[in-house]
Amino acid sequence: AQTVTQSQPEMSVQEAETVTLSCTYDTSESDYYLFWYKQPPSRQMILVIRQEAYKQQNATENRFSVNFQKAAKSFSLKISDSQLGDAAMYFCAYRSFYNTDKLIFGTGTRLQVFP
Amino acid sequence: DSGVTQTPKHLITATGQRVTLRCSPRSGDLSVYWYQQSLDQGLQFLIQYYNGEERAKGNILERFSAQQFPDLHSELNLSSLELGDSALYFCASSVEGLAGAPDTQYFGPGTRLTVL
According to DSSP, the β-strands at B5-7 and A64-69 are unpaired
**Inter-chain CB proximity B43 and A35 less than 8 Å:** no
Q: Which residues of chain A fall short of a pLDDT of 70?
A: 100
pLDDT beyond 70 at B7: yes
Query: Nearest C-alpha of chain A: how many angstroms from B76?
Result: 16
Strand pairing partners for B42? B38
Distances (CA, A) of B116 to B7, B81, B88: 20, 9, 15
For B23, the enclosing helix (H) or strand (E) is strand B19-24
A26-52 per-position pLDDT tens digit: 999 998 999 999 999 999 999 999 999
Contact B29, B72 (CB under 8 A): yes
Say which DSSP state A21 is in.
E
With CA atoms as reference, report the closest residue to B88 among B105, B72, B70, B108. Answer: B108
What is the predicted pLDDT for the residue at B96? 78
Q: What residues in B contact A46, CB-CB < 8 Å?
A: 2, 107
Percent of chain B with pLDDT over 70: 96
With CA atoms as reference, report the closest residue to B78 among B68, B92, B93, B89. Answer: B89
Q: Which of B9, B36, B43 to mutate to test the interface with A (most CBs of A within 10 A)?
A: B43
Q: Is A76 exposed, middle or buried (0-12, 13-18, 19+ CB in 10 A)?
A: middle
What is the predicted pLDDT for the residue at A63? 97
Of A100, A105, A107, the CB nearest to B103: A100
B96-115 per-position pLDDT tens digit: 767 667 678 999 999 999 99
